[in-house]
Amino acid sequence: MTHWTVDAPTALEFDDVTELNVRLIGGTVAVLASDDRPALAVSELTGRPLQVSHSGGVLTVSYESLSWDGLLGFLKPRKDSAAVTITVPADCLIQLGVLSASAVVTGLHAGAAVKGMSGDITLDGVTGDVSAETMSGEVAACDIDGEVHFKSMSGGLTLAGGSVESLAVDTLSGQVTADVSLGKSGSVRVTTMSGEVTLRLPADSDAQVHLHSTSGVRTEFESLRTVKAPASHPVSGNVGAGTGHVSVTTMSGTVTLLRRAPVGMESKTQ
């Protein structure tokens, strides 16, 4: 194992990186897919030094005593901050955790596992399975492709573009907005207490749909019907052949299901 203690702006290069583990407290971190040699650039650093290790293709960038499992339970006040940019091959596995730092992950093809306390996380063009967990931080993703699992207290999720085989969301009060396509026999399951949920699916989607809220449900798909029930507003039915599944359950948040016009028809409907 090769180890570095980074206490000043530094640039490092590595022979081979197949797995990346990052855990930061404050600042910024960008992980970018690249065909160039894997590299780490630290442009700003305050507080404790970063601990960097490289062994058997695994690159770890973290602080002493900051573990992945204990990240969201890390309550010690720290002023540690770093601005970090990491380039890795597109097929690199990644596990990224931040407390208040903001993070961007771009162009990776092997999915990503991300955690955040209050820091916002952006995923751009990440394909493969994505697992995201936050307390109050927001997660935004565009042009994804694979399975997405999201869990939060009050942090929201925004998905724009791409296709999902499975989208599973559990949040207490986070807002959920997803404009995606469903894979064949794909599924969407969203559960919230008070978070508002807005989904936008292609007009030619195939799914069994169940939407439930005590505050109201709105849908642009005419094949769906409101079911009479006390103190609730359930809407259900099939869209297309009904091969997939879409389920949204919220206690007090509103639910909106929008219909995206077929390709080539967008301008005609505006």
pLDDT in tens, 48-65: 999 999 999 999 999 987
Lowest-confidence segment of 216-220, 239-243, 258-262, 264-268 by average pLDDT: 264-268
Q: In 3-state terms, what secondary structure has residue 128? A: coil
The model's pLDDT over 150-161, given as tens digits with 9 standing for 90+, comes to: 999 999 999 999
Query: 40 falls in which pLDDT band (50, 70, 90)?
Result: very high
Contacts 24+ apart (CB under 8 A), 153-158: 155/116, 156/195, 157/132
Strands 10-13 and 39-46: antiparallel
Torsion-angle region of 108 (φ positive above 0: left; ψ -120 to 50: alpha; else: beta):
beta
Does the pLDDT value for residue 107 go beyond 80? yes
Exposure string for 1-24, b = 16+ CB within 10 A, e = fewer: eeeeebeeebebebeebeebbbbb
Where does the pLDDT of residue 247 fall: very low under 50, low under 70, confident under 90, or very high at 90 and above?
A: very high
Q: Backbone phi, then psi, for 267, in 5-degree steps?
A: -65, -30
List the beta bridge partners of residue 23.
Answer: 97
Nearest residue to 150 (alpha-carbon basis) of 194, 113, 104, 119: 113
- pLDDT tens, residue by residue, 71-93: 766 656 578 999 999 999 999 99
Residue 67 banded pLDDT, cuts 50, 70, 90: confident
What's the pLDDT score for residue 75? 57
Structure tokens at 232: 């609730």
Q: For the chain, first and last CA: distance in Å?
A: 59
Tens digit of pLDDT for each residue in 166-206? 999 999 999 999 999 998 889 999 999 999 999 999 999 99
User: Taking 80 as the threshold, does the pLDDT of residue 231 lie above it?
Assistant: no
pLDDT at 73: 64
Is pLDDT above 60 for 269?
no
In whole numbers, what is the pLDDT of the chain averaged over residues? 92
Which whole number is the average pLDDT over 8-23? 97
Q: Lowest mean pLDDT: which of 95-99, 251-255, 260-264?
A: 260-264
